[in-house]
Amino acid sequence: MGIWIVNGRTAEGEKIAVLAENGVIVDIVRGDAADAVTTDGREVVDAGGRLLTAGLIDMHVHFREPGFEYKEDIETGSRSAAKGGFTTVACMPNTRPVLDKAETVAKVVARGESVGLTRVLPYGCISIGELGRELADYEALRDAGAIGFTDDGVGVQSAGMMKEAMRRAAALGMPIIAHCEDDTLLPGGAAFSVGEFVKKHGLPGIPNESEAIHVGRDILLAEATGVHYHVCHVSTEQSARLIRLGKQVGVNVTAEVCPHHLLLSDEDIPNATDANWKMNPPLRSPRDVEAMIAAVEDGTIDIFVTDHAPHSEEEKARGVERAPFGIVGLETAFPLLYTKFVATGRWTLPFVLERLTSRPAQLFGLPTGKLEIGAPADLTIIDLEEERKVDPATFASKGKNTPFAGWHLKGWPKLTMLGGDIVWSELAEKGSDEFVS
C-alpha cells in the first residue's frame, strides 16, 4: 500500500511530502500543496516539520565480519548505520579472512541483505591477504558484489603493484580506494602525529609525509592508467595540496575526510593514555585541520565518511601503545557536522547533505542518495533542533570507542527508511529507539 511521509522539510526549508511504494519514491509534493496530500488510506508518518532527506551514504566503514564479530558484526553495524541515518555503507575488506575471494565477498553481500537494515556494499582487496605481494582476482570479486578495491588498513607499498592494480581496475571500470601510508616512514610504536603533542610527551610521531607520499605517487599512477583513484580519510595539508593539483590537471582523483579530522587536532588530545584518541590517520595539527576544511570548501575533498572502526572496550583499555587504531562514527557523524559547521553558519545544510548523499552516489555509481521520483525509497528524518549529549552507552554499535563522549550536539536522526520500509524509528508513534526489522 505504500507509506506517505508528510509534514517534512527539505534542506532548503521547503515543505515536502513523499510517497514510498514498492521500494521506490513514487510521488513528491512540495510547497503548500504538501499540507493537503491525499493519502488514500495508506500508512502515514508525520515528520513533525523535521528535515526529510535522502538516506545518508558512508563509503568507509568497518563491520568486522567475518572474523572479528566480538568488535562488530554486520547486524550490529547495520543497526548503528540505521540509527545514524545511513541507508548505504561501504565495508572495508580487512576482516579475517580478508575479502580477497569471491565467496567471501558474496557472503558479506548475502549477510547484509539478510539483516536488511542498510545497504551493505563490500570492497574487495587489492592484494591477496592485503599483503601487497599478489593481486586479487578483480573480475571475480566484482562479479561477487565488490564495488571497488582497497587494502584499507595498510598502504600498498610497491608502486609497481599499485600501477598494475590500477590498470586492471580501470579495465573493469572499477575504482581503486587507497589507504595511503608509507611503512618506511613509520617509527615503531607511534600512535600520534608528529607535532606539539608528541614533543610534549616524548613519544614517536607519525609524520605527515607518510600519508602524502603515497597520495602523490598514486595520483601519478592514476594519471598513467586512467583509473578512478579515491583517497581514503585524508588528514594532511600536503595530501590535500597534491589532490588539488591532481584535479587541476585532469586526473580522476577523488577524496574523503572524516568528521574527526575536521573537528579535532592533536592539541585536543587530553593525555597520552586514552586510546579513544588513537586513530589512523592520527589527529594532525591545527594547520592540517584548517587545510581539511578548506579542501572541503574548494571541492578538493568530495565526501564525508566516518571510518567507523569499532573495537572492544578491553582492547581500547590496553593503553595507547597496545590498543588498536580506530574510533566509531556512524551515530555521531551527522550531529557533529551539523552542530559544528551548519549551526555555526560556516556551511549550509544542503552543502553538508550533498556530501553525504548525492555526491558519494555519483562518485561510486550508486542509484541511491536522491530525493526524486523513481529513486530507491531510502529516506531519513532528522530533528535539527534536538540537542543531546553523546553517550556511548546508548550506541547501537558494539563499539563505544569515541573521543566525543559528553559533547552536546544537535541534529539527531529520528527515522530511517530503507527501500520503502521503516527500519528504525525514534518518532513517538513508532516507539522509542525501535528497530523494525
The pLDDT value recorded for residue 1 is: 78
Same domain, 330 and 264: yes
- Confidence band for 315, pLDDT divided at 50, 70 and 90: very high
Task: State the total domains in the chain.
Answer: 2
Same domain, 239 and 211: yes
The pLDDT value recorded for residue 58 is: 98
- Cite the annotated binding site by residue number: 60, 62-64, 94, 152, 179, 233, 280, 307, 311, 325-326
Chain segment 11-34, per-residue pLDDT in tens: 999 999 999 999 999 999 999 999
Structural domain including 387 reads 2-52+377-425
- Whether 417 shows a pLDDT value over 80: the answer reads yes
Same domain, 263 and 395: no
**Domain CATH for 239:** 3.20.20.140
Same domain, 41 and 147: no
Domain assignment present for residue 437? The answer is: no
**Cell numbers linked to 61:** 566503514
- Which among 58, 266, 307, 383 is annotated as catalytic? 307
The amino acid at 116: G
Contacts of 187 (CB under 8 A, 6+ apart): 204, 205, 206
Domain assignment present for residue 345? The answer is: yes
SS3 state of residue 365: coil
Domain assignment present for residue 68? The answer is: yes
The pLDDT value recorded for residue 213 is: 98
**Cell numbers linked to 387:** 540537542
**Of 325, 343, 369, which residue sits at a domain end?**
369
The pLDDT value recorded for residue 435 is: 75
Same domain, 255 and 198: yes
User: What average pLDDT does range 304-332 have in this prediction?
Assistant: 97
Same domain, 244 and 165: yes
The DSSP-derived string for 282-317 is: PP--HHHHHHHHHHHHTTSS-EE---B----HHHHT
- Cite the annotated binding site for substrate by residue number: 62-64, 94, 280, 311, 325-326
**Which of 216, 226, 122 minimizes the C-alpha distance to 168?**
226
Contacts of 415 (CB under 8 A, 6+ apart): 45, 47, 379, 380, 381, 422, 424, 425, 426, 427, 430
Same domain, 348 and 384: no
Distance CA 371, CA 391 (A): 31
The pLDDT value recorded for residue 428 is: 66
Chain segment 329-353, per-residue pLDDT in tens: 999 999 999 999 999 999 999 999 9
- Whether 434 shows a pLDDT value over 90: the answer reads no
- Cite the annotated binding site for Zn(2+) by residue number: 60, 62, 152, 179, 233, 307
- Whether 430 shows a pLDDT value over 60: the answer reads no
Same domain, 350 and 382: no
User: What average pLDDT does range 285-305 have in this prediction?
Assistant: 98
- Confidence band for 432, pLDDT divided at 50, 70 and 90: low
Compute the mean pLDDT over every residue in the chain, rounded to the nearest whole number: 97
Same domain, 335 and 396: no
Domain assignment present for residue 13? The answer is: yes
User: What average pLDDT does range 106-124 have in this prediction?
Assistant: 98
Same domain, 123 and 144: yes
**Domain CATH for 409:** 2.30.40.10
User: What average pLDDT does range 119-127 have in this prediction?
Assistant: 98
- Whether 120 shows a pLDDT value over 90: the answer reads yes
pTM value is: 0.97
- Whether 128 shows a pLDDT value over 60: the answer reads yes
**Does residue 307 have an active-site annotation?**
yes
- Confidence band for 436, pLDDT divided at 50, 70 and 90: low
The pLDDT value recorded for residue 429 is: 54
- Confidence band for 216, pLDDT divided at 50, 70 and 90: very high
Q: Residue 52, class by beta-carbon neighbours within 10 Å (0-12 exposed, 13-18 middle, 19+ buried)?
A: buried
Chain segment 163-212, per-residue pLDDT in tens: 999 999 999 999 999 999 999 999 999 999 999 999 999 999 999 999 99
**Of 369, 393, 412, which residue sits at a domain end?**
369
Same domain, 312 and 386: no
Same domain, 43 and 137: no
Domain assignment present for residue 431? The answer is: no
The amino acid at 287: R
- Whether 431 shows a pLDDT value over 60: the answer reads no
The pLDDT value recorded for residue 18 is: 98
**Of 342, 369, 396, which residue sits at a domain end?**
369
Chain segment 217-261, per-residue pLDDT in tens: 999 999 999 999 999 999 999 999 999 999 999 999 999 999 999
The pLDDT value recorded for residue 198 is: 95
Give the side-chain half-sphere CA count within 13 A for 389. Answer: 4
Domain assignment present for residue 433? The answer is: no
